[in-house]
Structure 1
Amino acid sequence: MAVLQDRGRIALASAIAAQPLYLAWGRGLPEWDAETPPEPSTATALVDEIGRRLITAVQYVVPHAEGEIELPDGSRYTASAQPSKWVHARWTFDYADAAGETVRELGVFIGGEMAEGLPPGQRYFTAAQVVDAGELYTMERFEGFTRSANTRQVQEFVLPF
C-alpha cells in the first residue's frame, strides 16, 4: 500500500498556504443549540453562511510541548521558519463583522471567487458577495453564540496535511 510521505505533505501544505484562505461563519440551525449534530465529511458548504473573512496571517508550525499555539485538545505548536506539514491560519474579524448574528458553524475554505466591483482591499464578504465558495477544507458545528460589535473575534486553526 502506498503511504503519503512527509515531503509530499509539506508540498500540499505549501500549495494550500499560497491560496486565498477564508474562514466563513454560518447560522447553522437553531436546534443545534440543544444538540449539535456531528460534522459530515462530505459537506461542500455551510448550512447557512453569514459571511467570510480572508486570512489575516499564515505560518508553518511544528508540534512542540511548550509551543505558544495551543489547540482545544491540548496539543501545542510553535512557528517554523521551514515549511512543514502543519499550517497555522489566523483570521481577525472586525468588530462589525456579522454583529448581532448567531454563529453555530465555521468553515475554512480554500480559494473561491467574490463578486466583481467590490471595494479594493475588502477582506470581509457577506454570503451574497460570494460567487464561488471554493473548496471546504474543514468545518465545525457548535452551540451558538451571538456576535457582539464590542468584541474583535479571532479564530485560529492548525491545518494538518
Structure 2
Amino acid sequence: MATLTQQGRKALARLLSQQAIYLAWGKGDPSWDDTLSPTPTNTTQLTSLIGYRKAKQIRFCEPDEQGEIQVPSGKFSLTDTPSQHLYCQFTYDFEDGLGEHIRELGLMLGTTAKANVPAGKYYLAPDEVAQPGELILLEHRTALFRDQGVRETFEFVISF
C-alpha cells in the first residue's frame, strides 16, 4: 500500500491554494433543524443552492494550541511556509442571502461566472454561474437565519 507523503500533502495544499475557492451556501432540508443528517461523501452538489462567495483569504496554516484560528478540528496559526493545512475565510456582505435560512455549506473548486458577469464580483447568484465547479467539502448544519445588518464569516481548514 502506498502512502501520501508529507511533501505530497504540502504539494496538494499548494496546488489548491492557487485556485479560486468559493463557498456555496444553501437552504438544505428543513428537517435538519430537528435531526441533522450526516453529510454523505458522494454528494456532488448542495440540496437547495442560494449563492456562491469567493474566498476572501486562502493561506497556509499549522496546528497551534495558542492559534487565533479555531475550527472544530482544533486551533491553527497562519504561516507563509507551505504546509499540509489550508485556511479559507469567506465573508459575506450584508445583503447576500438576506432573509434565507442557511443549512448547508460547500467548498467549491472551478466555479466560473457567466461571461456577462462583471469581473471581480465576489458573490454570485446561481443564475450568474456558468460552471458550478466541484464540491470538495460539505457541511450540514442547523439553520442560520440571514438577518439584516449581519456579515457572516465562515472559516475552514482543509488538511491533507
TM-score (norm 2): 0.96
- Which residue does 2:158 correspond to in 1? 159
Question: Amino acid of the residue matched to residue 60 of structure 1?
Answer: F
Structure 2, unmatched stretches of 5+, are none
The Cα of 1:149 is off from its aligned counterpart by: 2.2
Kindly report which structure 2 residues correspond to 1:42-57, keeping only aligned pairs within 5 A, or say none: 42-57=42-57
Q: Report SS of the residue matched to 1:122.
A: coil
Q: Which amino acid aligns with 1:119?
A: P
Shift of 1:131: 2.0
| Equivalent residue, structure 2, for 1:60 | 60
Mapped pair 1:25 → 2:25: yes
3-state SS in 2 of match to 1:60:
strand
Give the distance between the partners of 2:20 and 2:37, measured in 1 at CA.
29
Letter in 1 for 2:37: P
* Deviation for aligned residue 1:70: 1.1
Corresponding residue for residue 129 of structure 1: 128
User: Is residue 103 from structure 1 mapped to residue 86 from structure 2 by the alignment?
Assistant: no
Report what 1:84 is aligned to: 83
Counterpart of 1:103, as a letter, is I
Q: Secondary structure at the match of 1:119?
A: coil
SS of corresponding position for 1:13? helix
Shift of 1:64: 1.0
Q: CA deviation at 1:30?
A: 1.3
Shift of 1:72: 2.7
Instruction: Give the superposed CA RMSD.
Output: 1.0
Distance 1:132 1:119 in 2: 16
1:24-55, CA deviations, whole angstroms, 9 ceiling, x for partnerless residues? 10001111111111000001110011001011
Deviations 1:86-115 (A, max 9, x none): 000001110000000111000000122211
Structure 1 ranges of 4+ moved more than 2 A:
none
